[in-house]
Amino acid sequence: MEIKKSELKVLFTEEQIQTRIAELADELNDLYGNDEVIAICVLKGAVMFAVDLVKNLKMPLKMEFIRLSSYGTGTVSTGKVHAVDISLPDLNDKNVLIIEDIIDTGHTAKFLLDFINNNFKTKSTKFCSLLDKKISRVSDIEPDYYGFDIDDKFVVGYGLDYEGYYRNLRYIGYKPNV
Ligand code: 5GP
Ligand code: MG
């Protein structure tokens, strides 16, 4: 499959995304109150979501960035997760908030949660994903918070890429089956 920008249909507009992020932030502000949070952005895909989400969070917060990759090229999950850079500070006794773009098979989420659980005894660990593609799930992983459910589509935009492109779109789109 090849994806051209002119073929993209909008799935979520910039306004829908920002409205939903504000709602998620309200829930997280209620959850944590004034407790400190370590927000972990999973690069590259979650970059836009993480930036917009944390701007709406009110508690004392530190941002960390790790880089995992599961999709090689194309649009089909390899199922293999590769830690490109998973250097993290001491997370013992911290409230950890993982910020992801999408949970698809769940392999990436499981890999990361196992890594954190095996290395740290956190105060709490929550997983927040902008998108949840439940239909593709292989691991028994559910996000604690998510923005939107999507069906079996390969989506791009707002951080999500196709062969490295389209991360800079303000909306989330997909190529319809024609
Ligand atoms: P999982 O390990 O859950 O199968 O996949 C998670 C990663 O695959 C996501 O963080 C994301 O980078 C990538 N991914 C999964 N579904 C899509 C999709 O529809 N579009 C894009 N661009 N990336 C996806
Ligand atoms: Mg990702």
Ligand 2 centre to CA of 68 (Å) is 7
Ligand 1 contact via 100 beta carbon (within 6 Å): yes
- DSSP letter for each residue of 18-47: HHHHHHHHHHHHHHHTT--EEEEEEETTTH
Candidate of 101, 132, 169 to mutate for ligand 1, largest count of ligand atoms within 8 Å of Cβ: 101
**113 three-class SS:** helix
* Stated pTM of the model: 0.95
What per-residue confidence (pLDDT) applies to 72? 57
Segment-wise mean pLDDT, segments of 10 residues, the chain, 178 residues:
91 98 98 98 97 98 93 68 92 98 95 96 98 94 97 96 96 89
Q: Provide the token pair at 148.
A: 């939107």
What per-residue confidence (pLDDT) applies to 1? 73
CB atoms under 10 Å from CB of 102, counted, come to: 24
What per-residue confidence (pLDDT) applies to 71? 59
Ligand 2 centre to CA of 108 (Å) is 8
Nearest to 101 by CA among 2, 169, 36, 31: 169
- Active-site positions read 104
Ligand 1 contact via 91 beta carbon (within 6 Å): no
Ligand 1 contact via 104 beta carbon (within 6 Å): yes
What per-residue confidence (pLDDT) applies to 69? 82
Give the position, in ligand 1's atom list, of the atom nearest the Cα of 161.
Answer: 22
State whether the Cα torsion 78-139-149-51 is positive or negative: negative
- Terminal Cα-to-Cα distance of the chain (whole angstroms): 12
Ligand 1 centre to CA of 7 (Å) is 20
